[in-house]
Chains A and B, each alone.
Chain A
């Protein structure tokens, strides 16, 4: 029902102005100019990339069901969708029950995945070594996550049970702040000492939900958790590490990291340049780098929303992603720095090579 509700909601917002694929691209987090524009234009950034595993066949099945239930009308020539009154009514009715406010896809889609993977392996590892059990088969085989967990182990091996205690007291309030069933699903996905958590299939069966709904719900829960942790770093020192540690620090150049530390202390760009005895241009380069990695980068501080709109419109008109062309198409006093920062913020550079922002 959750995925269905979200699909219906997206379709409603996009209405007949976009094809039925647009929602699919949003949910799977497609990195195309069109999709990124759509989420900004229609304010669907929350749902961007919330179900990256979603298969097209499953999506088509959902549309088919929505159609059969009389909630949407499909136009097979223009490939657009429209909500019926019935669909409208159903959406109103269920909207309240759905945890839609958990989601923040654009901001957290990568960090929440990392958070969950690290947490799962962290819990499994510490739960095992806490019982003096050093041989177990990890449920995840991502070496990056594994290395991070090993590092945590190295740092904390003298105080495993304190660490576990802290982890417990940080997780508990987060889980108490969501519905009991949701907390239960979350905990059932975790593995520990001589115990393996549930597969998607098992969760779905156990909680009488579809696999897709379980998956997207867990994504939503982790978005909410990451949000709460970032909002209140002081209360979640350990979980904050799970999100941040290595995420910002290691992927940034040393110099950009220093700039980042000063930004955290609310220095302006000019002041940082002054303090560090670097050119403003260099500091701006750092900001672009930081925007790539810091998921809650305050982009509005440097690129106000009217400028953002201006850049988006320019991207739409542009035939390439070359900065020069985009700059030429802007109408306000938009700077190169703002365009680069904006594009970094919406994940463009991640798109290995084929869009060269620095041209």
Chain B
């Protein structure tokens, strides 16, 4: 804990980050967290939630750890911090090889801010090491992941409670841009912090115009996008629910328009992901066709247009993704393209996320067989996926359930016939329940799409009672015309084609330029 009266927070904000003033909510959250109070902060996308822990991390004596669901998000933040010359920051994830990780391990005490994936945080050795180093502030970013009501439910988040206790109860700061009252309640109870101070701010984005267009199918969607890209030379993100589709439409758009288009998804290797993302940030690309892997953490100021080629599985996910637009507070448009057949896509995706009854049975059998032969589970996720022949999200779910029902303790299998019977039933029911909930969430997206009243009002209604008047046009139901949307356009000059010799000179001979 720190005596707040002795610190001039504005000055520190300026020293470390070069910002002159706090944005709404930041100071309040930081003051509480630094005084040792547990805090839940809900602030809109792009409002600067990261500062709420990055600044305390610099000022607190001990270590701040940040749990965050997306590796790319963590890496990105670390890079951006390093880029403004902030030291003592690191992201640890399970993709690092042992050599790299060991290097970081050995000097862990020297870091101030450590980003870590929830998976890695589960490891006892990691926990012991962190306990030794001493954690002052425990941050749960994208905290809605803790609740099955939130989009992107992550079972590993449910185990944070235990870890927090093990780490001698550091101050907890949970942050989200999309937490309904239900989700907020879940966060408090799953973290076992009923007395958390809530700082809930309106999350609506007055500079974003919401636009839903009902089209007959793929072809119309593609034509629509082509004509929009021809009319608006603005940084644009197009979201897809499948990698393949993102790739295909990206190819189509580079063929049919003169825009610089690329795709981005989780299946690409890390260097290429960084290259594409940075080309976009840097203005070498104007259009990104992507899956939800591109999103959280993408902090480009002047994205003007966010198109959804497919609907999202929850409204929260939509709010997150459309929140990539207009982070400079200038007028931007979110456009969702919908055709009736689209409903089945998320249905299938949802089904693919949870194990079927058959799969549960098979996994149980396999476990029993391994138990009978005195085997233990492999240590890595990859190996387990191969052994049990289920997808990653299904395995994460099952693993959590097994541990909860005392069937698994780390890699050791414990057998008790009666217990297993009960667990099997409980797990199957749990899946059923979650399917129903997910379906409900999908229904609310569909309802929103078919809603005839104000889309802005409807979108935010589960989150807050009211919203700020939009700065530009409100939504397609309140009356929207493309003609009246006149954002500042990029000037597009064709780049000169250089020979490789010239390019090499440009790269290396800095005094020649």
How far in angstroms is the closest Cβ of chain B from A293? 14
- Identify B275's interface contact among A123, A142, A196, CB under 8 A: A196
From 247 to 278 in chain B, residues with beta carbon under 8 angstroms from any chain A beta carbon are 254, 262-263, 268-272, 274-276, 278
Q: At the interface, yes or no: B79 with Cβ under 8 Å from chain A?
A: yes
Contact residues of B: prevailing secondary structure: helix
Question: Does B231 sit within 8 A of A, measured CB to CB?
Answer: no
Contact of A131 with B by CB under 8 A: yes
A-chain residues with CB within 8 Å of residue B506 when the two chains form the complex: 192, 195
**In the complex, which residues of chain B have a beta carbon less than 8 angstroms from the beta carbon of A202?**
262
Contact of B83 with A by CB under 8 A: yes
B64 CB to closest chain A CB, in angstroms?
A: 20
CA A187 to CA B504, docked complex, whole Å: 6
Whether A127 contacts B83 by the Cβ 8 Å rule is no
Interface pair A131/B510, CB less than 8 Å apart: yes
B85 touches A184 (CB 8 A): no
Q: Which of A164, A175, A188, A198 makes the CB contact (< 8 A) with B509?
A: A164
CB contacts (< 8 Å) of A143 on chain B: these are 96, 100, 103-104
Q: Which of A103-111, A165-173, A256-264 contacts B (4 or more CB under 8 A)?
A: A165-173
Q: Number of contacting residues on B, CB 8 A?
A: 42
Q: How far is the CB of A220 from chain B (nearest CB, A)?
A: 17
Contact check, B100 vs A142: say whether CB atoms are below 8 A apart. Answer: yes
**Is there a chain A Cβ closer than 8 Å to B425's Cβ?**
no
CB pair A134 B282 closer than 8 Å: no
A201/B509 in contact, CB under 8 A: no
Complex interface residues of chain B between 210 and 238 (CB less than 8 A to chain A)? none
Contact code string A119-156 (vs B, CB < 8 Å = 1, else 0): 00001001100110011111111111001000000000
CA distance A23 to B74 in the complex (A): 39
Q: Which residues of B contact A175 (CB under 8 A)?
A: 500, 504
* Complex contact B507–A123 (CB within 8 A): yes
Residues of A within 8 A of B254 (CB): 205
The residue on A at minimum CB distance from B513 is A131
- Per the bound structure, the CA–CA distance linking A53 and B244 in Å amounts to 20
- Tell me which residues across on chain A come within 8 A of B281, comparing CB atoms: 137
User: For the complex, is B84 an interface residue (Cβ under 8 Å from A)?
Assistant: yes
Instruction: Output the least CB separation between B377 and chain A (Å).
Output: 19
Q: How far is the CA of A85 from the CA of B120 in the complex (A)?
A: 55
CA distance A198 to B513 in the complex (A): 21
- Closest residue of chain A to B278 (Cβ to Cβ) is A196
Query: Which of B263, B281, B508 has most chain A Cβ within 10 Å?
Result: B508
B123 within 8 A of A: no
What are 28 A-B pairs with beta-carbon distances under 8 A?
A127-B510, A130-B510, A131-B510, A134-B85, A136-B83, A137-B83, A137-B281, A139-B271, A139-B274, A140-B274, A141-B79, A142-B100, A143-B96, A160-B510, A168-B504, A172-B501, A172-B504, A175-B500, A184-B499, A188-B503, A191-B275, A196-B275, A196-B279, A196-B282, A199-B262, A200-B272, A201-B262, A201-B263
Chain A residues at the B interface, C-beta cutoff of 8 Å: 53, 123, 126-127, 130-131, 134-144, 147, 160-161, 164-165, 167-168, 171-172, 175, 180, 183-184, 186-188, 190-202, 205
